Amino acid sequence: MMIDLQNKNVPEGFQLGASRRNKLIDNAGPMRFSAYKIREHRRKLDDLEESVEQIGKSIRSQIIPHAFRRCLGSEAEEWMQEVPTFVGHQLAHDFSEVLHALVGDGIRQAVVNELIKQTKQEVGPILELGEIARIELVESWHTVAADLGGRSSTDEFLSACIRLVDGTLEIIKSHAGGSHVALSA
């Protein structure tokens, strides 16, 4: 994880992601092709979900590989403890803070406004779930590690993020018409 998120909880990670995205907008101007950024974020969530599954499976089998996709086997505990805050950061940076730019992708402003409103309503409980996952990973690694990959609060958190993003992508797809957004899905 290239961003220093140590000693930050999940809501703080989210706020940092929002401020970093807004700083980019201030420096570079409004973004275009935010639907692409949202789809890219979704792919990264899939990748993280697969990594979490691999780590849990390895812990359950007690066969830890030299490396997982994102970390050395010996670093899995430390890496996993940062995952919830990182996901919170990215949820702001690559998802919620780019929704307003969907108008540049041909999505009507009224639809964008509704997506933003809906996201604001759903993000709070998702971040709370992420914080529960973070605390469990930090305080009870040896208890929860074997549950990774399907039965942990980390999995629930990632699934909630994926459901939020997928719901938004469905709305984008249904309102994109013949624009490049629909064609590049």
Contact 45, 54 (CB under 8 A): no
For the cut 60, the answer to whether the pLDDT of residue 69 exceeds it is yes
Residue 29 token pair: 């101007």
Three-state DSSP class for residue 84: helix
For the cut 50, the answer to whether the pLDDT of residue 40 exceeds it is yes
For the cut 70, the answer to whether the pLDDT of residue 55 exceeds it is yes
Asked if the structure places residue 104 within a domain, the reply is: yes
Asked if the structure places residue 3 within a domain, the reply is: no
Question: What pLDDT sits at residue 68?
Answer: 74
State the amino acid at position 21 in one-letter form: R
Question: What pLDDT sits at residue 89?
Answer: 96
Asked if the structure places residue 51 within a domain, the reply is: yes
Residues of the domain holding 166: 30-183
Domain total in the chain: 1
Asked if the structure places residue 19 within a domain, the reply is: no
Question: What pLDDT sits at residue 150?
Answer: 87
Question: What pLDDT sits at residue 47?
Answer: 94
Question: What pLDDT sits at residue 180?
Answer: 47
* Range 45-55 average pLDDT: 94
Can you say whether the dihedral through the CA atoms of 151, 137, 10, 86 is positive or negative? negative
Asked if the structure places residue 8 within a domain, the reply is: no
Residue 10 token pair: 């999940």
Contact 56, 45 (CB under 8 A): no
The mean predicted confidence, pLDDT, of the chain is 87
Asked if the structure places residue 174 within a domain, the reply is: yes
Give how far the C-alpha of residue 72 lies from the chain's centroid of Cα atoms, to the nearest Å: 22
Asked if the structure places residue 108 within a domain, the reply is: yes
State the amino acid at position 144 in one-letter form: V
pTM summary value: 0.88
